[in-house]
């Protein structure tokens, strides 16, 4: 288990993290979402020992990550970092050696990964001569070359074209299938929804939602009901007990039902206005969940 | 994959990895290769120029039969007064002297004794005669005064020979030391720049974040300084060897031992100076994120280096002066001043020891304090970071 537990961090007066915690099981992929400046990068940097947490810790297999165990973590920083003038092959091998591989093993592993990521022919070129997408692959190779036990990737998909996204996704799924817990942050929520076993949404320094996409959806869909009653000309739903009108526009109504509120009573009320063309629990996309979670002024009500 | 499982690398092996990368990158860098070659060429050129301009001085080989050490020194001193390099060749007897003159092995041969005689091939030439006449005359006067009981008056002999001879050797050592200080200064600036650029490159390319995920800042700093240090040391040793060999080959030094010891002193001070300046440059560079901002942040240290350089040059003419004495003890300045004073022979052993101790302490301080600034500043990008902030942010 990779556990992020109660992380607190302030930079001066700015409180960036206020108790961030989530767990990633081996072999599962965790999508880390949150608006810009929410604290995703800080969280990952704490895990990598680049930032010191004011409180809380990150554990791998029950033991806090330290300098030695971090060497078993593959890391891709948000700001891509490679030596621009160093050759691709040497560079990847260098990072392998920094992670503890011997010279020969490092060279072999570097070649293997570059080949696998389709960069075999470019291994003798300086990194700066590569396209951005290819540089990104080299970055991934640098993160994977030491056969890490854990992967922590900050915005690995940003700047990639759809084909690059697919091949990176494939590589990450392969790692997860091999039993590596993968944490990555991304703004591409459709991607997160597609790839990740579980998702965490970070807002204002707290995890406002964690769980599988289905769980989150369920939690939301348990409460939001969309009813379209084109003939209604007056507020019709607010009289039903336990119902709050979230929005109403030309008969297209979104209702929030409190626990125990009767959806059939809502349907009866709707039928009293005339035709009912739509009556369904909302199936929010991750984007909507995200918007909801991030926009909510009182995060407690959606916090897991 | 069949690769063996990774092991936890030790601090030493991480430092070695970083150092090896620095060396490997640098020796393939055209700029570095060119600058190294240029420096060596400049040294050889300087020696050649020394020979060419020095050949304006007359040279004279004088054979000497009989006479004692005082006559040899008197001849040399006389030559110096007349700006002629006099080399005295001791010969066994008159026959040997005649052969030597005939073979043009010597320009003239002096048969010392009560009636001194100068053998020459054709004519003595004005200066040779003057040198010999002057030397013999001087000695004769001294002798006669002694015989007349005026023993107290043999001062001129002692004073002239001893002081002049020493000064010549000192001067040569000082010239070598000035040369050394120029090289030392150039290499410190050059390698200081290399270090600083390397630090900023890692920051601006953000690769430092990846590096620091696997090692501590001090390991990175130590690796960089050591790696480039090995190159710098190799370079200054190469320069020293080339300079000594060239100087001996072109015969522009009289006492090779002096030259070699001066070169050794310069190299030793280079090691101390390099350690200090490299650390300071690296730490200063860590405060900025772009190569364009580097000049500003390196300015104060560069100024110290330049001031030290000029004091070092100045110390050559006044090695015992207050300025030279004080600055030769001040860490940061001492590497460029002390070698000159040592070469001039105007320094007590305790002063050298004190300067070394102070310098080593200063290096320790820079590495400790600088290391904290370095690690605090490495992950902060954008703008110039204040030293205080970096210290506060040390691994925050």
**Cβ(B332)–Cβ(B235) below 8 Å:** no
Residue of B nearest to A91 (CA): B21
Q: Residue B53's pLDDT is what?
A: 67
Q: Please indicate if any CB of chain A lies within 8 Å of the CB of B396.
A: yes
Give me the residue from B4, B7, B396 closest to A51, CB to CB: B396
Q: Which residue has the tokens 């990964």?
A: A113
Give me the residue from A48, A79, A99 closest to B6, CB to CB: A99
Listed in sequence order, the residues at least 6 apart from B218 whose beta carbon sits closer than 8 Å to its beta carbon are B367, B371, B374, B375
Q: What is the DSSP string of A126-140?
A: BGGGS-HHHHHHHHH
Interchain CB contacts (distance < 8 Å): A and B: 88
Q: Residue A303's pLDDT is what?
A: 39
**Cβ(A26)–Cβ(A16) below 8 Å:** no
Give me the residue from A75, A90, A102 closest to B210, CB to CB: A75
Q: Is the ipTM of this complex over 0.85?
A: no
Q: Residue A143's pLDDT is what?
A: 92
Sheet (strand A278-281) strand order: A243-249, A252-257, A224-228, A278-281
Count CB-CB contacts under 10 A for residue A304.
Answer: 13
Q: Residue B303's pLDDT is what?
A: 92
Give me the residue from A83, A109, A147 closest to B207, CB to CB: A83
* Tens-place pLDDT, residues B127-182: 777 778 878 877 777 777 777 776 655 444 444 444 445 566 667 777 778 888 88
Q: Residue A286's pLDDT is what?
A: 77
The model's confidence at residue A224, banded by pLDDT at 50, 70 and 90, is confident
CB contact under 8 A, B6 and A72: yes
Lowest model confidence (mean pLDDT) among A89-98, A232-241, A271-280, B361-370: A232-241
The model's confidence at residue B394, banded by pLDDT at 50, 70 and 90, is low
* Tens-place pLDDT, residues B332-386: 899 999 988 888 887 889 999 999 999 999 998 988 888 888 888 877 766 677 7
3-class secondary structure for B35-47?
A: HHHHHHHHHHHHH
Convert A14-30 to b/e letters by CB count within 10 Å (16 or more is b). eebbbebbbbbebebbb
**Cβ(A109)–Cβ(B3) below 8 Å:** yes
Residue of B nearest to A96 (CA): B6
**B34 or B66: which leads in pLDDT:** B34
CB contact under 8 A, B209 and A82: no
Residue of A nearest to B202 (CA): A83
Domains of chain B, with CATH numbers? Answer: 11-44+168-393 (no CATH), 59-149 (3.40.190.10)
CB contact under 8 A, A100 and B6: yes
The model's confidence at residue B58, banded by pLDDT at 50, 70 and 90, is low
Q: Residue B30's pLDDT is what?
A: 84
Distance from CA of B379 to the nearest CA of A (A): 8
Domains of chain A, with CATH numbers? Answer: 2-212 (3.40.50.300), 217-301 (3.30.70)
* Tens-place pLDDT, residues A245-255: 888 888 888 88
Q: Would you say the C-alpha torsion B161, B163, B169, B171 has a positive or negative sign?
A: negative
Q: Residue B277's pLDDT is what?
A: 93
**A100 or B164: which leads in pLDDT:** A100
Phi, psi (5° rounding) for residue B65?
-110, 125
Query: Rounded mean pLDDT of chain B?
Result: 81
Q: Residue B240's pLDDT is what?
A: 86
* Residue among B14, B287, B225 nearest A70 (CA): B14
Q: What residues are paired with B283 via a beta bridge?
A: none
Rounded CA gap, B290 and B284, in Å?
12
Helix residue spans in chain B (DSSP H): 11-27, 30-54, 69-81, 94-102, 126-147, 155-204, 207-212, 217-249, 256-285, 294-317, 322-327, 334-344, 349-365, 371-377, 387-393
Lowest model confidence (mean pLDDT) among A86-95, B161-170, B269-278, B302-311: B161-170
Q: Residue A179's pLDDT is what?
A: 92
pLDDT (mean) for A281-291: 76
Q: Please indicate if any CB of chain A lies within 8 Å of the CB of B392.
A: no
Rounded CA gap, B78 and B80, in Å?
5
Roughly what angle, to the nearest 10 degrees, separates helices B256-285 and B349-365?
20
Q: Residue B2's pLDDT is what?
A: 43
**B139 or A269: which leads in pLDDT:** A269
* Tens-place pLDDT, residues B195-223: 999 999 888 888 988 898 888 888 899 99
Q: Is the pLDDT of residue B268 over 80?
A: yes
* Residue among B368, B23, B25 nearest B223 (CA): B23
A-contacting residues in B 216-245 (Cβ below 8 Å):
216
* Residue among B223, B197, B217 nearest B284 (CA): B197
- What are the Cα distances from residue B187, in Å, to A116, B30, B183, B273, B375? 44, 17, 6, 10, 26
CB contact under 8 A, B216 and A67: yes
Distance from CA of B282 to the nearest CA of A (A): 17
């Amino acid at each position: 288990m990779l556990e992020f537990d109660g992380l607190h961090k302030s930079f001066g007066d700015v409180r960036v993290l206020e108790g961030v915690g989530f767990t990633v099981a081996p072999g599962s992929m965790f999508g880390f979402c949150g608006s810009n400046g929410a604290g995703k990068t800080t969280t990952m940097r704490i895990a990598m020992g680049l930032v010191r947490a004011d409180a809380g810790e990150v554990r791998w297999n029950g033991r806090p990550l330290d300098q030695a165990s971090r060497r078993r973590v593959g890391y891709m920083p948000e700001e891509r970092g490679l030596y621009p003038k160093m050759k691709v092959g040497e560079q990847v091998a260098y990072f392998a050696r920094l992670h503890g591989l011997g010279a020969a093993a490092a060279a072999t592993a570097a070649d293997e990964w570059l080949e696998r990521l389709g960069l075999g022919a470019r291994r003798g070129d300086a990194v700066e001569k590569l396209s951005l997408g290819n540089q990104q692959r080299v970055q991934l190779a640098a993160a994977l070359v030491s056969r890490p036990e854990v992967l922590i990737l900050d915005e690995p998909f940003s700047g990639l074209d759809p084909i690059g996204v697919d091949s990176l996704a494939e590589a990450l799924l392969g790692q997860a299938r091999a039993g590596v817990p993968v944490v990555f942050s991304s703004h591409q929520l459709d991607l997160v929804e597609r790839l990740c076993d579980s998702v965490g949404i970070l807002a204002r320094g707290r995890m406002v939602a964690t769980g599988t996409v289905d769980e989150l959806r369920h939690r939301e869909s348990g409460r939001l009901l969309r009813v379209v009653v084109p003939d209604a000309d007056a507020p019709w739903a607010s009289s039903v007990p336990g119902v709050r009108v979230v929005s109403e526009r030309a008969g297209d109504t979104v209702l929030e039902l409190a626990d125990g509120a009767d959806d059939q009573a809502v349907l009866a009320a709707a039928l009293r206005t005339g035709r009912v063309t739509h009556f369904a629990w909302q199936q929010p996309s991750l984007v909507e969940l995200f918007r909801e979670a991030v926009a909510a002024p009182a995060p407690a009500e959606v916090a897991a | 994959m069949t690769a063996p499982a990774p092991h936890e690398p030790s601090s030493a092996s991480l430092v070695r990895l970083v150092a090896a990368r620095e060396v490997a990158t640098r020796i393939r860098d055209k700029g570095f290769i060119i600058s190294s070659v240029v420096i060596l060429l400049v040294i050889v050129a300087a020696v050649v120029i020394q020979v060419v301009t020095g050949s304006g001085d007359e040279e004279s080989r004088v054979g000497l039969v009989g006479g004692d050490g005082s006559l040899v020194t008197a001849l040399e001193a006389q030559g110096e007064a007349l700006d002629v390099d006099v080399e005295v060749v001791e010969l066994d007897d008159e026959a040997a002297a005649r052969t030597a003159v005939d073979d043009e092995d010597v320009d003239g041969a002096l048969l010392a004794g009560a009636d001194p005689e100068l053998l020459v091939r054709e004519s003595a030439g004005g200066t040779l005669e003057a040198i010999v006449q002057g030397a013999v005359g001087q000695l004769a006067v001294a002798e006669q005064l002694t015989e007349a009981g005026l023993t107290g008056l043999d001062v001129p002999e002692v004073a002239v020979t001893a002081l002049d001879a020493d000064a010549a050797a000192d001067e040569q050592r000082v010239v070598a030391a000035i040369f050394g200080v120029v090289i030392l200064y150039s290499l410190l600036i050059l390698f200081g720049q290399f270090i600083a650029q390397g630090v900023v490159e890692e920051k601006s390319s953000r690769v430092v974040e990846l590096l620091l995920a696997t090692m501590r800042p001090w390991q990175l700093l130590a690796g960089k300084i050591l790696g480039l240090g090995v190159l710098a040391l190799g370079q200054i040793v190469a320069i020293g060897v080339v300079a000594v060999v060239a100087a001996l080959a072109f015969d522009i030094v009289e006492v090779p031992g002096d030259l070699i010891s001066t070169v050794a002193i310069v190299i030793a001070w280079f090691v101390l100076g390099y350690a200090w300046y490299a650390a300071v440059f690296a730490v200063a560079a860590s405060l900025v994120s772009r190569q364009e901002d580097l000049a500003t942040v390196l300015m104060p240290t560069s100024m110290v280096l330049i001031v030290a350089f000029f004091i070092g040059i100045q110390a050559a003419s006044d090695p015992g002066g207050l300025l030279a004495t004080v600055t030769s003890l001040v860490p940061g300045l001492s590497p460029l001043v002390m070698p000159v004073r040592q070469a001039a022979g105007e320094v007590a052993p305790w002063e050298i020891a004190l300067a070394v101790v102070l310098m080593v302490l200063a290096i320790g301080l820079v590495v400790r304090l600088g290391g904290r600034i370095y690690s605090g500043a490495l992950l902060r990008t954008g703008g110039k970071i204040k030293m205080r902030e970096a210290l506060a942010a040390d691994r925050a």
